């Protein structure tokens, strides 16, 4: 399928990639018809989605299956009054009905808003009103049902609630009965244009309230680079991205680019995450490609990996947070596989990446995806020199690149703040080495200004993490009359060091940082805590620590 959209499909070097990557965007592109149904017509028996759960069930869907079920779902949703531009929220975890629903909604030209099941009543009310949600399709668990039901009296735009079961709560329609009884699907005459909104994802909420990111119908094509050239997928791959469907990372790794590449997508629908489960799945199902945030790899290397046969695994990628050097090294030592790091946001597709023709530099995010005109801007607005820190920006003076979002929905002031004068500001600071590789420094808001120095939290955190006492830590700035700000480390101690919090350990940790990195970066303030404040998706919220220290 990739060859339909690319003039050249294999690349041998970054120069070749920059020069020859050309993604063709057809008019009125629709992922449902132009990818899913196109596969079903060309190779109906081709494997599309391998769904499993922690109850021992597994189903291998072919494209013929997916076409059938997404048509049935589309017809059912039509009967519930859903059509072009209608907003539908999906709270489906990793249930297979997520794939039925999102593809069906694309076929209808509707707007899909996937959300996490960890939302409470207040979050659901906020989202329904923020986005004018017309229908919610949800998994049948009691907690989810209760929060949705409680939210309804304050969510006047919602007309229908649908449950995929197993039990159908009061007030909800039965999804499975609905699709079984649906009339044959009739495709809408004009489902969408390329500019229409197809998908809205909430950001993780690491820096503040989650923002609602609106993408258009061409967004899936932007993910060709994510899947074919970062995940390095081909038509025989079996790929697992570890992400809940409520986060943007799910469509990065469990849908768009993977299906365009013709890879089989592995889904493991589980209640509780245990690293051992994932290793078992890789072994039993012969998964060839894995993508997960650094935290997951951090867990995996703590397991006894030698107990598992992971020989099917060809390729591993990571993004979402900074990758510590030690995790890269240990994973490579155990598996022989080099972690290929990438960088991007809910607002984008893969933006920087380590591509198959490159040697990874552990801890570097890689080089720009040529789809985007990427630059680093210093705080006084210049393009940074090699070695100099700057904010990662995407230049859009020649138009919106494929893959970049349209806007923050109903938040023009937020959109304007991040994206003005032909430049989209990612909010992330990095530096570039002489080979063109980018190195993460921290979020712009997290960078500490102390006595004229600019100190990125990531480097100090990485230095601390190499000390056996430190399980996790967050570096922030605390206000200081003389220096402006001083570096503070908030630390979760490992079991063996619990109870040893005191001036001696503090001094040892400070000396350790001074030895591992430039001495001026050492944390003058250290606080020990039981746990760090995090987002629902597990990212460290440094902003919360800063607020507390004000
Ligand atoms: P919010 O925008 O609501 O504060 P968020 O930015 O965490 O939340 P996401 O879109 O899920 O929401 O995450 C994108 C962010 O993740 C990037 O802006 C960057 O800060 C971080 N990130 C992604 N990849 C990497 C990486 N390889 N190294 C370091 N940070 C990364
Ligand atoms: Mg963000």
End-to-end CA distance of the chain: 54
pLDDT band at 286 (very low <50, low <70, confident <90, very high): very high
Distance from the CA of 11 to the center of ligand 2, in angstroms? 31
2-432 CATH pick, 3.40.50.12780, 3.40.50.300, 3.30.1490.20, 3.30.390.30: 3.40.50.12780
| pLDDT, position 411 | 94
Binning pLDDT at 50, 70 and 90, where does residue 389 land? Answer: very high
Q: Which ligand is nearest to the CA of 201?
A: 1
Quick one: which atom of ligand 1 is closest to the CA of 209? Answer: 3
The residue whose two tokens read 């997951």 is: 296
Confidence of residue 316 (pLDDT cuts 50, 70, 90): very high
Q: What is the pLDDT of residue 276?
A: 85
Say what the pLDDT of residue 141 is: 87
The arithmetic mean of pLDDT across residues 459-467, rounded, is: 92
Q: Ligand 1: which residues within 6 Å by Cβ?
A: 203-208, 210-211, 248, 319-322, 341, 343, 345-346, 365, 426-428, 440, 443, 539
Q: Which residues sit opposite 202 in a β-bridge?
A: 212
Averaged pLDDT of the chain: 95
Provide the 10 A C-beta neighbour count for residue 549: 15
Lowest mean pLDDT among 112-121, 272-281, 477-486, 509-518: 272-281
- Rounded to two decimals, the ipTM of the complex is 0.99
Helices (DSSP H) in 302-353: which residue ranges? Answer: 325-335
Write out the E strands in 72-134.
87-91, 111-114
Six-digit token string for 190: 């004009």
Question: Domain ranges in the chain?
Answer: 2-432, 447-549
pLDDT, residue 306, reads 84
Strand extents, DSSP E, 303-349: 315-318, 339-343
**293-306 residue pLDDT tens:** 988 898 898 888 88
CA of 341 to the centre of ligand 1 (A): 13
Contact present, 228 and 2 (Cβ < 8 Å): yes
Burial class (CB in 10 A: 0-12, 13-18, 19+), 333: exposed
Question: 279 pLDDT exceeds 80?
Answer: yes
- Homologous superfamily of 447-549: ANL, C-terminal domain (3.30.300.30)
| Tens-digit pLDDT profile for residues 49-97 | 999 999 999 999 999 999 999 999 999 999 999 999 999 999 999 999 9
Q: Examine the pLDDT at 273 and tell me if it is beyond 80.
A: no
Q: Kindly state the average pLDDT of the residues 521-532.
A: 96
pLDDT tens digits, one per residue of 431-442: 999 999 999 999
Q: Residue 339 C-alpha to ligand 2 middle, in angstroms?
A: 23
Rounded distance from Cα 426 to ligand 1 centre (Å)? 9
- pTM for the full model? 0.94
Question: Using CA positions, which residue lies closest to atom 30 of ligand 1?
Answer: 321
Q: Where is mean pLDDT largest: 207-216, 218-227, 330-339?
A: 218-227
148-195 pLDDT, tens digit per residue, is 999 999 999 999 999 999 899 999 999 999 999 999 999 999 999 999
CA distances from 500 to 301, 469, 495, 508 (A): 26, 10, 10, 12
HSE-CB for 63 with a 13 A CA cutoff: 22
What is the Cα–Cα distance from 80 to 64, expressed in whole angstroms? 25
Q: What is the pLDDT of residues 327-365, one digit of tens each?
A: 899 999 999 999 999 999 999 999 999 999 999 999 999
CA proximity to 313, closest of 326, 298, 294, 300: 300
């Amino acid at each position: 399928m990739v060859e339909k959209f690319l003039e050249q499909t294999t690349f041998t070097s970054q120069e070749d990639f920059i020069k020859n990557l050309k993604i063709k965007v057809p008019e009125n592109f629709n992922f449902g018809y132009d990818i899913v149904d196109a596969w079903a017509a060309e190779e109906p028996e081709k494997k599309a989605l391998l769904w499993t759960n922690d109850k021992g069930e597994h189903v291998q869907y072919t494209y013929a299956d997916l076409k059938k079920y997404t048509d049935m779902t589309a017809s059912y949703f039509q009967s519930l009054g859903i059509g072009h531009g209608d907003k539908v929220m999906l709270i489906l975890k990793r249930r297979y009905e997520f794939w039925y629903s999102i593809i069906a909604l694309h076929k209808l030209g509707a707007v899909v808003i996937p959300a996490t099941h960890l939302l409470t009543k207040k979050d659901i009310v906020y989202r329904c009103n923020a986005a004018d949600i017309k229908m919610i399709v949800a998994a049948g668990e009691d907690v989810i049902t209760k929060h949705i039901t409680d939210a309804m009296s304050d969510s006047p735009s919602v007309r229908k609630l649908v449950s995929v079961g197993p039990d159908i709560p009061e007030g909800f329609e039965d999804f499975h009965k609905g699709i079984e009884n649906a009339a044959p699907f009739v495709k809408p005459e004009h489902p969408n244009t390329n500019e229409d909104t197809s998908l809205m994802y909430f950001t993780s909420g690491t820096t503040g309230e989650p923002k609602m990111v609106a993408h258009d119908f061409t967004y899936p094509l932007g993910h060709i680079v994510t899947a074919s050239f970062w995940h390095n997928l081909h038509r025989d791959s079996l790929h697992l991205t570890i992400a809940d469907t409520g986060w943007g990372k799910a469509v990065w790794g469990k849908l768009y680019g993977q299906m365009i590449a013709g890879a089989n997508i592995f889904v493991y629908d589980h209640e509780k995450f245990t690293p051992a489960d994932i290793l078992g799945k890789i072994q039993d199902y012969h998964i060839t490609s894995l993508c997960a945030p650094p935290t997951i790899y951090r867990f995996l290397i703590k397991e006894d990996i030698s107990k598992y046969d992971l020989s099917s695994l060809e390729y591993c990628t990571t993004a979402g947070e900074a990758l510590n050097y030690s995790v890269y090294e240990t994973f490579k030592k155990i598996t022989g596989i080099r972690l290929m790091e990438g960088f991007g946001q809910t607002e984008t597709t893969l933006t920087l990446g380590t591509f198959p023709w490159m040697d990874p530099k552990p801890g570097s995010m890689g080089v720009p995806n040529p789809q985007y005109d990427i630059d680093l801007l210093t705080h006084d607005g210049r393009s940074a020199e090699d070695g100099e820190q700057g904010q990662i920006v995407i230049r859009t003076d020649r138009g919106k690149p494929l893959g970049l979002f349209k806007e923050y929905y109903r938040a023009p002031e937020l959109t304007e703040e991040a994206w003005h004068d032909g430049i989209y500001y990612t909010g992330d600071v990095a530096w570039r080495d002489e080979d063109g590789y980018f190195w993460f420094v921290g979020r712009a808001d997290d960078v500490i200004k102390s006595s004229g120095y600019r100190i990125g939290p990531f480097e100090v955190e990485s230095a601390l993490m190499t000390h056996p006492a430190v399980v996790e830590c967050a570096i922030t700035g605390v206000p200081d009359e003389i220096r402006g700000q001083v570096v503070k480390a908030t630390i979760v101690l490992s079991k063996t060091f619990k109870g040893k919090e005191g001036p001696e350990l503090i001094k040892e940790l400070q000396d350790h940082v001074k030895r591992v990195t430039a001495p001026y970066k050492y944390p003058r303030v250290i606080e020990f805590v039981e746990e760090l404040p995090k987002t629902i998706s597990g990212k460290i919220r440094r902003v919360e620590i800063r607020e507390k220290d004000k």
